[in-house]
Amino acid sequence: MITFLRVDHRLLHGQVAFSWTQYVGADCILIANDDVPDDELRKTTIKLAKPPSVKLVIKNIHDSIEAIKSGVTDKYQLFIVVESVNDAWRIIREVPEITSINLGGIKAREGSKNISKAINLLPDEIEKLQQLVQAGVEVEIRLVPNDRKQLFTDCV
């Protein structure tokens, strides 16, 4: 069962990995990213941030979608972490049982708009998130579980 989908440009890191994993009751973290599976340094860094009692799987976006759709992940309380709104959008289009997204950290880039602390979105990302909201997906902003939940629609 998918417990949580988080967008964080740093993917898995320290306190956030532990606090969110514990908060959502995850026993498996799926890092869905097209670059990390072929980047040994990033993979090693992510593995260091993983809580000890939690399984970690790193797959590209396509293989992540296929694994979820095949049912192989059903036995886990799955916490999915992606690097970008575009990656989240690609997954949600193919996996309709995902009904919410957490925006946790998206760095500033040229042309991006700051909509909340640590959340900077490009116009096409705002458009994709608005499409998801219109389709019934909750898009919320929280860096850590103790933060007050802020809805994306209240920030744009």
Element (H, E) at 57: strand 55-59
pLDDT of residue 65: 98
What average pLDDT does the segment 66-81 reach? Answer: 97
pLDDT of residue 120: 97
Q: What residue has token string 């898995």?
A: 12
DSSP letter (8 states) at residue 107: -
Residues 104 and 143 sit within 8 Å (Cβ to Cβ): yes
pTM: 0.96
pLDDT of residue 14: 84
Q: 56-65 pLDDT, tens per residue?
A: 999 999 999 9
Q: 97-155 pLDDT, tens per residue?
A: 999 999 999 999 999 999 998 999 999 999 999 999 999 999 999 999 999 999 999 99
Counting the structural domains of the chain, the total is 1
Q: Could you tell me the CATH number of the domain that includes residue 58?
A: 3.40.35.10
